[in-house]
Amino acid sequence: MSNLIIDEGNSRCKAYVFENNAIVARESGSEISDELLFGLANKHNVSKIISTSTRRAEFALPKEMQHISHVRLNAQTQLPITIDYKTPETLGRDRIAAAVGAHSLLPETNVLIIDMGTAITIDFVDNQAIYHGGIISPGATMRARALNQFTRSLPLVELPADSELTGKSTNEALQFGILNGIRFEIEGYISRYRHHYEGLQVIVTGGDAELIDHKRVSILFEPDLVAIGLNGILSNLNR
């Protein structure tokens, strides 16, 4: 018996199948079709499903799958961590799932979770399994588009793989400004948290994770962090 994990993000949709806490199948795209979900459920004998979506309030399963136990992650879902947040009903479900994933990978550890997606989120879970909140910042593409759309003469630039401190052209000034701004921002947060929390570990996920200079900061990359967290939430409900 397997768990089906459905994660509808701002830019990508992902579906995973877990057996005994190990990923045995994964699919992703701009959309995930009902046919693909039904195929995964049949092939892997799925018995339980958990879903989260940043696109709509409730994810609806295809008719052929509505007999399968389905949990829609929300503010009332029982979690293996404690949420210490003033407005839990507005807390992004992907942030909740990533926090649970980080806790399951590094229990009894102070963990900083950095999700490099459409937006950049940085969240903190302490060694007592308490989620304390974090920050939301514009992602790389959002920064590039904002500089183009809110000025009269700045072009929309593609981001290079690396950057220098000083741009020698307007394009380079934009590219390096965006990349260095993100890197310095993240390095600053990591430094501050490590100053305040002993033994802090850092986990990075998201499509733009490669923008972080891992040579300058000690971090763990986990591209499937949200899925691991969703599977952990589903498993915790079944105990």
Q: Which residues are catalytic?
A: 94
Kindly state the DSSP code that residue 76 receives in the 8-state scheme.
Answer: T
* CA-closest candidate to residue 7, choices 93, 125, 133: 93
Give the Cα-Cα-Cα angle 139, 14, 202 (nearest 5 degrees): 50
* 140-149 and 170-196 helices, crossing angle to 10°: 140
Say how far apart CA 104 and CA 227 lie, in whole Å. 12
Residues near 16 by Cβ (< 8 Å), separated by ≥ 6?
Answer: 4, 5, 7, 23, 25, 26, 27, 224, 227, 231
